Amino acid sequence: MIYFPYFRGRQFDLQALKAIAQDQTLPTNIIPIIEPVRDIKALPQTIAAFLAHDHPLVVITNPTVSDYGLTQQKLHDWTPWQHHPQLILGHVLTPTTTAADLLAPAGQRTLLIARQYDELVAAQHAHWLTTTQPDYLLVPPEARIRQLLDRPQISLYDHAWFPDKDQTYANLTDGFFSDDWQLATLQGYQGFSDYTIGGSHYSEHGYPARAVTLHVTYFVHDQLRIHRFVSDDRVDFKHPKEKFFQAGVCVCSGCPLNQSRRRPRPFNSWRPTTTSTTFPAWEWSSASA
């Protein structure tokens, strides 16, 4: 079973992915997808880290969010790695997609993301989809799509939940997140994909929040749950640094994760750096598990 976690290429996401690639702890059946959103050096650095350790990675060649795809000259170009055999060329199916967009050099794998049923029907009628091309096809887990296609598919679903403007994550601190791997087996999918805890929505600019929240996923038996550590101060938009450390204290306690048999490894090695003058301020302890 293959898992494709979908990331928008934000700075901190790329830094985390780069660290995982260098640590060589990622199983080969977990293949991250990166959709570039900013022209930053962390993008080619992350791609290089994965390929240097011979771990497969997907890069979207036609980003559909932000203005990254509209910039002709890139300061930090990732295309020197585009012919590497472990780099999977990804494409988002849109009304402007052509058959040539879905082609890849010999010996290189391709991945197609089809979010809209009507566009998928058009691609099927145009004979762009065969049993072998693209190599991976990500689609919403809908019965009508399973009936339409007679080829391997990978389910793509957004599990992220965002509170309304007049609420915070304190209204729902712990809950179910996903069991897609079980449903994928039952429904005959080749694998599964999601947007992790970040969600599919992308905004070029952040916005102030009354609370600082740290999200952690963890297992209870065969169920993936999510716990949200929320700062105690949720009155106004001031003092984000102090709110970060309030949430960090909750993370260190780990509850209810202490009761999980598969306690996330970072809880054995993270601690807030309270002497720092900026946030987020976090460091690895020497007792990393």
| Digit-coded pLDDT (tens) for 222-232 | 889 999 888 88
141: tokens are 């887990």
CB proximity list for 116: less than 8 A, separation 6 or greater: 93
For the entire predicted model, the pTM comes to 0.86
Q: Which distant-in-sequence residues (6+ apart) come within 8 Å of 23 by Cβ?
A: none
Say which range, 130-139, 146-155, 224-233, 280-289, has the weakest mean pLDDT: 280-289
The predicted pLDDT at position 201 comes to 85
Query: Which pLDDT score, from 0 to 100, does residue 277 have?
Result: 53
Mean pLDDT of 186-191: 93
Residue-level pLDDT at 146: 93
Q: What is the mean pLDDT of the chain?
A: 85
Contact (CB, 8 A) for 268 and 288? yes
pLDDT for 74 equals 84
**With 70 as the cut, is the pLDDT of residue 257 above it?**
no
Residue 6 has pLDDT above 60, yes or no: yes
- Amino acid present at 93: L
In this predicted structure, what is the pLDDT of residue 163? 84
- Tell me how far the alpha carbon of residue 246 is from its chain's centroid: 26
Around Cβ 164, how many Cβ atoms within 10 Å?
7
Looking at residue 287, its pLDDT comes to 30
What pLDDT shows up at residue 54? 95
Q: What is the mean pLDDT of residues 172-191?
A: 92
Higher local confidence (pLDDT), 229 or 67:
229
Highest mean pLDDT among 40-44, 241-245, 281-285 belongs to 40-44
14 has a pLDDT exceeding 90:
yes
Which range, 41-45, 129-133, 201-205, 270-274, is most confident? Answer: 41-45
